[in-house]
Structure 1
C-alpha cells in the first residue's frame, strides 16, 4: 500500500473536526496531520505539515473559507482543496469552482462522498468535482440571459464529439495548439469535466450535444 493521503482540517466547529477524525480513523489510506478552527492558521500549518489535501469550511470564525482557498491555491498549485458547505447552494458551488478548489461537498452529504472528494483532491488538485455540478449548471442555464457556451466553445464541443484531438481541433479552427488547449480547458470547466468523455456526457445531459454521438 502506498503512502497515506495527508490531510489538514480547517473548520470552526469542534464537532465537525472530531467527526472527521472518527471518519478518517477507519481509512488506512488517509490520515489527519493537523487541524485548526481558524482560517488565519491554515497557511502556516500547510507550510509546516505539508499535507496533500486541506479540508476547509466555507464559513470560518475569522475568515471566508473561499478566500482562504484562493490564498492556498495561489501558493500551492498541487495542493488538494476540499470545501465543505452547509447546504448545496448553487452560488456557493460556482464560487468554489472559481476559487480553484478541487472538490465541493455539502456537510449533509454521505460520508462516502467526502472520502471520495479527499481522494480525488489528492490526485487531481486542479480538477474540480461536485456531485451536484451538472444539475447546477442546468439551473444556471435556465435562468441565464445568454447561452451556457460561447459560439467558439460550441464549435470545440462538436469537434470533441467527432473524436478530434486538440491538435486537429487547432487545425480545424485555424488557431494555435495552445489556444485550442485553452478553449478545451474552458469548456471542461463549464461542464464540470476533467476529460473528453465526461465533457461529452455532461453536454448530452444538458442538451448541448446530439445524443447519437459516440464517447
Structure 2
C-alpha cells in the first residue's frame, strides 16, 4: 500500500518520470534487464527475497551508478550509517509527510544525498565502526556487509557478479585491514553498523 501510494504521488509530482513498481529484488532485476535508463531506485529493506542489505547490494550491482534510496520504518542510527557507508543516496522514513518525501526525492535526483541526523552514543559507536572500515574499498565493504547478512561466499559472488576466488581474496584483505583472523571477528568489528537488522515486518 505504501509502495503504491508513493508511486502515485511521485507520478503526480514528477509527471516527466516513468515509474516501475515491483515487490521483490528478483522482480526489480528483471525490470532493470528489460528497461535501461533508470534515474532513481527506491528500496524497502524488508522484502521476501532479501535479508539485511543483501537486496541493496544486488540492486547496486544491477544499476551501477543509479542512486538508490532506502525507504523504511526503521530509523536506527546504525542502519542509516550502514546505508550511507554502502553508498545509498538517501534514507527516508515511511512515517514522514509525503510532500517531504517527494522533496527529498527531487533533491536526490538533483545530485544531493538525504539522510536523517544521528545523535548520542549510537552515533559515537557507529562512527568508531566506520573508522575501523575506512580502509576498505567499496567492493570489500560490500563483501563484508553481505557476509554479515549470513551469506555464503558463493551467494556473495552471485550477488556481486564476481567469482568465489575474488570473494576469498576480498575476505583475506578485509581480515588484514580490520586486524582480525576470521569471519566472526570481522562481523563483531562491524556490530554497531549491524545491530537490529533482523528480519521482521515493517
* TM-score of the superposed pair, with normalisation by structure 1: 0.51
CA pair 33-144 structure 1, distance change in 2 beyond 3 A: closer
Shift of residue 117, structure 1, vs aligned partner: 2.9
Over residues 170-205 of structure 1, what are the superposed CA-to-partner deviations in whole Å (9 max), with x where a residue is unaligned?
xxxxxxxxxxxxxxxxxxxxxxxxxxxxxxxxxxxx
2:122 aligned with 1:140: yes
Summarize the alignment of residues 8-157 of structure 1 with structure 2, pairs less than 5 Å apart: 15-29=1-15, 31-50=17-36, 51-64=38-51, 66-124=53-111, 128-130=113-115, 132-133=116-117, 135-136=118-119, 138-143=120-125
- Asked if structure 2 preserves the Cα contact closer than 8 Å seen for 1:57 and 1:65, the reply is no
Supply the distance in 2 between the matched residues of 1:80 and 1:60 (Cα, whole angstroms).
19
Shift of residue 32, structure 1, vs aligned partner: 4.2
Query: Aligned residue pairs: how many?
Result: 131
Shift of residue 31, structure 1, vs aligned partner: 3.1
- Asked if structure 2 preserves the Cα contact closer than 8 Å seen for 1:141 and 1:148, the reply is no
Supply the distance in 2 between the matched residues of 1:144 and 1:28 (Cα, whole angstroms).
35
- Asked if structure 2 preserves the Cα contact closer than 8 Å seen for 1:24 and 1:32, the reply is no
Supply the distance in 1 between the matched residues of 2:17 and 2:44 (Cα, whole angstroms).
18
Unaligned runs of 5+ in 1: 1-14, 151-215
Unaligned runs of 5+ in 2: 133-202
CA pair 119-66 structure 1, distance change in 2 beyond 3 A: farther
Secondary structure at the aligned position of 1:117 is classed as helix
Secondary structure at the aligned position of 1:44 is classed as helix
* TM-score of the superposed pair, with normalisation by structure 2: 0.54
Shift of residue 107, structure 1, vs aligned partner: 0.6
Over residues 2-44 of structure 1, what are the superposed CA-to-partner deviations in whole Å (9 max), with x where a residue is unaligned?
xxxxxxxxxxxxx112211331232135534311111112122
Deviates more, 1:141-150 or 1:96-105: 141-150
Supply the distance in 2 between the matched residues of 1:139 and 1:29 (Cα, whole angstroms).
42
Larger Rg: 1
> RMSD in angstroms over aligned alpha carbons?
2.9
Which has the larger strand fraction? 1
